[in-house]
Amino acid sequence: MKYNILYILLFCCLYYQGKAQTAKATSGSFALNNATIVTVTKGTIENGSLLIENGKITAVGKNISIPDGATKIDCSGQSIYPGMIDSGTQLGMAEVNAVSLTVDHNEVGDIKPHMQALTAINPNNVAIPVTRVNGVTTVLSVPTGGLIPGTAALINLVGYTPDQMYAGFKGVAINFPTAGKRSRWDRRSEEDRKKEEEKNLKNLNDIWEQATLYAKIDSASQFNKTLRPEYNPQMEAMLPVMRGKMPVLVEVNQEKGILSAIKWIQKNKINAVLTGVAEGWRVAKEIAASNIPVITGPILSIPTRSSDRYDSRYTNAGILHKAGVKVAIRTDDSENVRNLPFNAGFAAAYGMGKEAALKAVTINPAEIFGVADQLGSLEVGKSANLIVTNGDPFETKTQISHLFINGWQVAIDSRHIQLYNEFLDRSPGLKK
Amino acid sequence: MKNNILFFLCLCLAFVGTAQTTGNILIKNGTVLTITNGTLTETDVLIKDGKIKSIGKDLSAGDDTETVDATGLFVMPGIIDAHSHIALDVVNEATSPSTAEVWVGDALDPLDVGIYRALAGGVTISHAMHGSANAIGGQCETIKHRYGTFDPEELRMVGAPRTIKFALGENPMRVHGEGRGILPRTRMGIEQVFRAEFSKGQRYMEAWDTYNKTKGKVTTATAPKYDRRLETMADILRGDIIIHCHSYRADEILMLMNVLKDFGVNRITYQHVNEGFKVAPELAEFGASASVFADWWAYKFEVYYSTAYNAAILTKNGVVTSINSDSGELIRHLYHEAAKTQRYGSLSDEEALSLITINPAKQLGIDKRVGSIEEGKEGDIAIFNAHPLSIYAIPQMTIIDGLVYFDIKKDANDMRVDINPEEAEPMFMMESKAHDHANDACMEGVSEQLHKH
């Protein structure tokens, strides 16, 4: 009897521990059977199976052998898609954006490549479970503010430490100088905006010169430590960029700015990705000719010019794709990164097509970030980042029934779902 | 000379008389989502003189009536946004905790390109609201998106009930308490703003009622001093004005219901009302309705404990609920915002579409005129190429009072006021990013003032 009570207490403790965030993730071998498998890179398999072992996809196909002990999940009538990748967010870096002490993406200063997004990722950020239950399993978290906001990091949305979450890509973010207005309330005159653009461009070029020199001296000092340059955290952070080992994410949105960014990238022979690119549709040919990939979004946003058709942001990704640009889609959001599938859906509807839009949130970002051996499609050997749905993952009413990230089976649970369960039929209701 | 002036006046009158024009149109063979009477396939809708004259099969109209072939298309009532700030020159009169005397109807801007963008999302009516800087903000205006006019008068939905903006929580606390060092700095202070203004309004109303009864009978009867702010409060007490209250937290929602009970006021729609789900039974019992975001949350602290299932919980608890935009961006895809209640809470198609049609119409007191496709109602229609709750749906045509205001096939350049891209300054709208919505659109125009303090 005593033991029974003890068990009940123990159970209660465990139960409430589980309730603190969301239910625990589990690992092991999983066989997802009788599913429509949308591999993205190798076609669609009807009524197939997918095997997950040790965090990896170990078999995909029609007649694969399921090892004893694998947890079998019947996916009849359901589809498996790769987990979606959001190529530009502040997820995990802010709890409440209006409360500055909870915001960790915008450090003081203008030149801060040494600010590491990965350092500021809070694995217990409340928006992370909210995001992943909508099928987004991987995001790029990007610092904000200044000419060089910091170093972005790609993370998987499972884990209790940033290192556990890290998905193998970092890149230095740059806000490329432009003379465009920041918003309707930007009161700077056209002249002032142009002056600031020139000043910032000169600043950027100076930094680049300095970083080039710093890298050269640093290389030379490998053989003679006395030659080492005085420690400079900004320049240290730029070393992998100068050595071509780390790409630069060049944020630029205005037509003219896009063209000058391309020139700047080519002149300095930089391994770069263009981000934002809201007016890319105006210069799609030039972007395609440069062979620089593009991360664009949010798709659900208003035109940059009052002269534009209402849908210029909806159609942008499709126009770039058709011009031959490799396109990835981002939300540029923090708490509503869960809207990534809907951003992709709008791009699909407005000219991009479903197939290309699906690639823009799976294999394209994986390739752009150099992690296509791990992420972005359902192939043997890749990380098991995938979702099981009752239909098209972009369609608004679609429900996701199973979620795997890095091979972990993650519960379909979040604060939003918990509040729904508690308050749908509130108890006590009206009675005291 | 006198005659000339008379002639000119007559001309003006004629102009005013024809200001709000109506049209005839026959929409053939569409899938008609009536909202209040189910879905009718291969059905025609005939609009005559701006009103829905008949709904049925094989309808015909005179040769002079424009016909739209809606074969394979979805026909729904024009979408209604119960919370927007488009078509306004100014949003906030942030100078006092109560500014009940001001009216955004005095600051309508018919040239706002936001109206065109809303039309392109199937939205025919919006509730152009005062902002949320003050506990008692200004009066609002229900407008029809008659884009293309230069005359603000033409935007008004004549006959729509008067409405007023109230606001609870952080915004009035920041503007007045933090920004100006006056009450309210807390949610306690906000309650007292309402109690004071309603009490003053009640006395003002009684004084006028007494005067009106004795006027002409008692020689000493003198009129009380006219005060437009208190006159407005009196009109709320009389039930002539519907309150639309910016609110987030459950506690403040309950507070205002208690205040309204004490003053016998019952016409209220809570706006945003992110924690409405926590007090859904109380809202339903009071008869208050709710106008919410589909999924916005965590942009400020008072919306941290939100859920995207809010609309579903409210709906299933019997609260008349709508989904609004409060944004020049979201207003363009309210059909998609409504569809999110199917992901978050599995609402039926009809329930989800009601959130952007008949329910906001009820909240604005215009449900007898618009919000569903019924004979006798006004000819406000949105036509889509797929079911409007599908992510792949694209609005094709938007009709108001039988006149086409948006047609995707004839989306001419002059739909925008600026048509030369070189002359239109490119802007990279901070407000298009949800997480820059720390101030929300309701706070438009007051952030600079806050920074000064």
Q: What is the pLDDT of residue B322?
A: 98
Chain segment B132-178, per-residue pLDDT in tens: 999 999 999 999 999 999 999 999 999 999 999 999 999 999 999 99
Q: What is the pLDDT of residue B15?
A: 44
Is B256 a residue whose pLDDT tops 70? yes
Q: Is B428–A430 a contact, with Cβ atoms under 8 angstroms apart? A: no
**d(Cα A322, Cα A357) in Å, to the nearest integer?**
12
**Nearest residue on chain A to B277, alpha-carbon basis:** A423
- Choosing among 3.20.20.140, 3.40.50.720, 2.40.10.10, 3.90.550.10, the CATH entry for B78-368+428-452 is 3.20.20.140
Q: Is B428–A254 a contact, with Cβ atoms under 8 angstroms apart? A: yes
**d(Cα A432, Cα A416) in Å, to the nearest integer?**
26
Residue A253 C-alpha from the chain's centroid: 19
Q: What is the mean pLDDT of residues A277-303?
A: 97
Q: What is the pLDDT of residue B10?
A: 44
Is B17 a residue whose pLDDT tops 50? no
Is B269 a residue whose pLDDT tops 90? yes
Is A5 a residue whose pLDDT tops 60? no
Measure B92 CA to nearest chain A CA, in Å: 15
Q: Which chain A residues are within 8 Å of B316, Cβ to Cβ? A: 424
- Alpha carbon separation from A129 to A22, A156, A410, A414 (Å, rounded): 8, 11, 9, 5
Amino acid found at A188: R
pLDDT band at A8 (very low <50, low <70, confident <90, very high): low
**Nearest residue on chain A to B304, alpha-carbon basis:** A96
B378 - beta bridge partners?
B51
Query: Of A293, A421, A360, which Cα lies nearest the Cα of A19?
Result: A421
Residue in A95, A304, A309 nearest the CB of B411: A309
Measure A93 CA to nearest chain B CA, in Å: 12
Q: Which chain B residues are within 8 Å of A431, Cβ to Cβ? A: none
Measure B149 CA to nearest chain A CA, in Å: 17
**Nearest residue on chain A to B334, alpha-carbon basis:** A300
Measure A109 CA to nearest chain B CA, in Å: 20
Measure A96 CA to nearest chain B CA, in Å: 5
Is B61 a residue whose pLDDT tops 60? yes
Residue in A282, A333, A423 nearest the CB of B435: A333
Query: Of A143, A170, A160, which Cα lies nearest the Cα of A334?
Result: A143
Neighbours of B392 (CB within 10 A): 18
Tokens 């990705």 belong to residue: A273
- Alpha carbon separation from A270 to A111, A141, A152, A248, A292 (Å, rounded): 18, 21, 17, 7, 10
Using a CB–CB cutoff of 8 Å, tell me whether A399 touches chain B: yes
Tell me what the pLDDT averaged over chain A comes to: 94
Is A368 a residue whose pLDDT tops 60? yes
Chain segment A396-431, per-residue pLDDT in tens: 999 999 999 999 999 999 999 999 999 999 999 999
pLDDT band at A266 (very low <50, low <70, confident <90, very high): very high
Concatenating the DSSP letter of every residue in B11-71 gives HHHHHHHTSS----EEEEEEEEE-SSS-EEEEEEEEEETTEEEEEESS----TTSEEEE-T
Measure A281 CA to nearest chain B CA, in Å: 13
Question: Are residues A316 and A280 in contact, defined by beta-carbon separation less than 8 angstroms?
Answer: yes
Complex prediction ipTM: 0.94
Is B433 a residue whose pLDDT tops 50? no
Rg (CA), chain A: 24
Q: What is the pLDDT of residue A22?
A: 72
Chain segment B299-314, per-residue pLDDT in tens: 999 999 999 999 999 9
pLDDT band at A148 (very low <50, low <70, confident <90, very high): very high
**d(Cα A365, Cα A342) in Å, to the nearest integer?**
17
Q: Is B435–A430 a contact, with Cβ atoms under 8 angstroms apart? A: no
Q: Which two tokens stand for residue A146?
A: 């200044």
Q: Is A424–B313 a contact, with Cβ atoms under 8 angstroms apart? A: yes
CA diameter of chain B? 73
pLDDT band at A139 (very low <50, low <70, confident <90, very high): very high
* Strands of the sheet with A294-296, listed across from one edge: A84-89, A136-141, A150-156, A166-175, A248-252, A272-276, A294-296, A327-329
- Give alpha helix (H) positions in A78-189: 117-120, 127-132, 162-165
Residue in A300, A307, A415 nearest the CB of B424: A307
pLDDT band at B452 (very low <50, low <70, confident <90, very high): very low
Query: Of A87, A160, A81, which Cα lies nearest the Cα of A366?
Result: A87
**Nearest residue on chain A to B416, alpha-carbon basis:** A307
Q: Is A302–B432 a contact, with Cβ atoms under 8 angstroms apart? A: yes
Q: What is the pLDDT of residue B431?
A: 36
- DSSP type of residue B156: B
Measure A114 CA to nearest chain B CA, in Å: 24
Q: Which two tokens stand for residue A27?
A: 């690992």
Concatenating the DSSP letter of every residue in A95-106 gives S-TTSGGGB-S-
CB-based burial, B336-358: b 16+ in 10 Å, e otherwise: bbbbbbbbbbebebebbbbbbbb
Q: Is A396–B277 a contact, with Cβ atoms under 8 angstroms apart? A: no
Containing H/E element for A405?
Answer: strand A400-405
Q: What is the pLDDT of residue B135?
A: 98
Is B427 a residue whose pLDDT tops 90? no
Residue in B295, B391, B415 nearest the CB of A336: B295
Q: Which two tokens stand for residue A267?
A: 């002149």
Q: Which chain A residues are within 8 Å of B446, Cβ to Cβ? A: none
Is B128 a residue whose pLDDT tops 80? yes
Q: Is B282–A429 a contact, with Cβ atoms under 8 angstroms apart? A: no
**Nearest residue on chain A to B410, alpha-carbon basis:** A309
B-facing residues of A in 115-154 (CB < 8 A) are 126-127, 134
Best residue of A306, A311, A354 to probe chain B, by most B CBs closer than 10 Å: A306
Q: Is A306–B417 a contact, with Cβ atoms under 8 angstroms apart? A: yes
Coil, helix or strand at residue A260: helix
Chain segment B79-127, per-residue pLDDT in tens: 999 999 999 999 999 999 999 999 999 999 999 999 999 999 999 999 9
Measure A358 CA to nearest chain B CA, in Å: 14
**Nearest residue on chain B to A300, alpha-carbon basis:** B329
Q: What is the pLDDT of residue A224?
A: 87
Q: Which chain B residues are within 8 Å of A303, Cβ to Cβ? A: 117
Q: What is the pLDDT of residue A23?
A: 82
Q: Which chain B residues are within 8 Å of A339, Cβ to Cβ? A: 295
pLDDT band at B62 (very low <50, low <70, confident <90, very high): confident
Tell me what the pLDDT averaged over chain B comes to: 91
pLDDT above 70: percentage of residues in chain A? 95
B47 - beta bridge partners?
B25, B52
Using a CB–CB cutoff of 8 Å, tell me whether A415 touches chain B: yes
pTM for the full model? 0.94
**d(Cα B324, Cα B247) in Å, to the nearest integer?**
14
Q: What is the pLDDT of residue B428?
A: 67
Q: Is A335–B299 a contact, with Cβ atoms under 8 angstroms apart? A: yes
**Nearest residue on chain B to A335, alpha-carbon basis:** B298
A55's CB contacts (< 8 A; 6+ apart) are: A27, A383, A384, A406, A407, A408
pLDDT band at B441 (very low <50, low <70, confident <90, very high): low
Question: Are residues B52 and B376 in contact, defined by beta-carbon separation less than 8 angstroms?
Answer: yes
pLDDT above 90: percentage of residues in chain A? 88
**d(Cα A183, Cα A180) in Å, to the nearest integer?**
9
Q: What is the pLDDT of residue B55?
A: 98
Q: Which chain B residues are within 8 Å of A348, Cβ to Cβ? A: 391-392
Q: Which chain B residues are within 8 Å of A180, Cβ to Cβ? A: 425-428
Chain segment A158-183, per-residue pLDDT in tens: 999 999 999 999 999 999 998 888 77
Q: Is A333–B434 a contact, with Cβ atoms under 8 angstroms apart? A: yes
Best residue of B285, B343, B356 to probe chain A, by most A CBs closer than 10 Å: B343
Using a CB–CB cutoff of 8 Å, tell me whether A188 touches chain B: no
Q: What is the pLDDT of residue B446?
A: 73
For the purposes of burial, counting CB atoms within 10 Å of the CB of A95, is it exposed (0-12), middle (13-18) or buried (19 or more)?
A: buried
pLDDT band at B436 (very low <50, low <70, confident <90, very high): very low
Q: Which domains does chain A have, with CATH numbers?
A: 2-82+413-423 (2.30.40.10), 84-191+245-375 (3.20.20.140)
Q: Which chain B residues are within 8 Å of A310, Cβ to Cβ? A: 116-117, 120-121, 332, 411
B-facing residues of A in 211-240 (CB < 8 A) are none
Question: Are residues A137 and A129 in contact, defined by beta-carbon separation less than 8 angstroms?
Answer: no
Is A378 a residue whose pLDDT tops 80? yes
